[in-house]
Amino acid sequence: MAPADRSWLEAALVNWQRAAIEELRLPDAPLPEIYAIDAVCTFTLPAGDIAAMQGERHGGQVELPNGEKAPLGPISFAFDRDRFVMSLPSVWRAAGVTSELGLERLMTGVLLHEIMHTRQSRLAADLLDPIAAAHGLEKTLSDDLLQQTFEEDRAYAAAYREELNTLFAAAAAPDEAAARGLAAHALHMMRARRARWLTGPNAYFAELDDIFLTMEGMGQWLIYRHFVSREGGSIPPDQALAAVRRGGRWWSQDQGLALMLVVDRLLPGWQQRAFRDPDWRAERLLAAAVER
């Protein structure tokens, strides 16, 4: 592994271990097995141990933990609770990926988001697998499915945007009373949106919405918290927020971020509830924040 890639990976994993304890307040646990990819090799790190890693040439087609092949390029995802896959900065740079905060800082944020999902994967599977099986979504289920289904519906998209903007306004409100009032309005809009569009044959989308807003929101929130931390460069909050949102292209990530910023502001200790109990997801967290 090239020295620059290795240095980034070592530092990123240290940042994950810090963030897991300080930000997510998770109990200490071993790192997953990590598959780190450069232009030539896939490096396997047992339990995240970089000193014990072994490399194997991939020939431009990366073999995933399940034996499937993927083309070489920028990738990062939790395969399951025990395995995490990510290509290294040299690969992302060669693909032209850039960030106003610096590529390595961006990639550390991505790693934090995705490796967090390894700690959610068992509970997520318990919630998502039955929905996927019941609706034939085993091969198409993703956090973008709701957006892919409804983004051409102009009324739905407008309702989503209003809800999103109200959540961000609540996160940025000048005082707690104003934040709580705006959050209550956003909660009302969320429930109205789901009652209008996510019912009948589309009722399962309401469950998916709640699950993915929680998962993706926590991941995006963790990136934001890293960027504004000393370890992440003490980036000014407005600049950090813009860098995390990257234009707000992905609905579940952007709305989830806004929602978790509100929850973090109004509901101290939310980490002890979110995704440790299957009932503590986005809507219930937001409702608890409003009612506190």
Average pLDDT over every residue of 227-249: 96
Q: What mean pLDDT is predicted for residues 27-32?
A: 92
Phi, psi of 78 (to 5 degrees): -85, 115
Mean of per-residue pLDDT scores for the chain: 95
Least confident of 26-35, 163-172, 180-189: 26-35
119 class by beta-carbon count within 10 Å (0-12 exposed, 13-18 middle, 19+ buried): buried
pLDDT > 80? residue 275: no
Is there a contact between 121 and 78 (Cβ–Cβ < 8 Å)? yes
pLDDT beyond 70 at 255: yes
Residue 47 CB burial class (10 angstroms; 0-12, 13-18, ≥19) = exposed
Is residue 74 predicted with pLDDT exceeding 80?
yes
Does residue 271 have a pLDDT over 90?
yes
pTM, two decimals, is 0.95
Among residues 286, 290, 292, 288, the alpha carbon closest in space to that of 255 is found at 286
DSSP 231: T
Tell me what the mean pLDDT of segment 136-145 comes to: 94
The mean pLDDT value for 182-211 works out to: 97
- For residue 266, give the H/E element and its range: helix 251-266
pLDDT-based confidence at residue 292 (cuts at 50, 70, 90): low
Q: Please give the pLDDT value at position 121.
A: 84
| pLDDT confidence bin for 23, thresholds 50/70/90 | very high
Per-residue confidence band for 123, with pLDDT thresholds at 50, 70 and 90: confident
Which pLDDT band, with edges at 50, 70 and 90, does 287 fall under? very high
**Residues 189, 166 contacting (CB under 8 angstroms):** yes
pLDDT band at 124, cuts 50/70/90?
confident
Work out the average pLDDT over 62-81: 92
Statement: residue 125 has pLDDT above 90: no
Q: Report, as an integer, the average pLDDT of 73-82.
A: 93
Q: What is the mean pLDDT of residues 129-136?
A: 95
Q: How many percent of the chain have pLDDT more than 90?
A: 89
Q: What is the total residue count of the chain?
A: 292
- Contact at 8 Å (CB) between 163 and 255? yes
pLDDT over 70 for what percent of the chain?
Answer: 100
Question: Is residue 173 over pLDDT 90?
Answer: yes
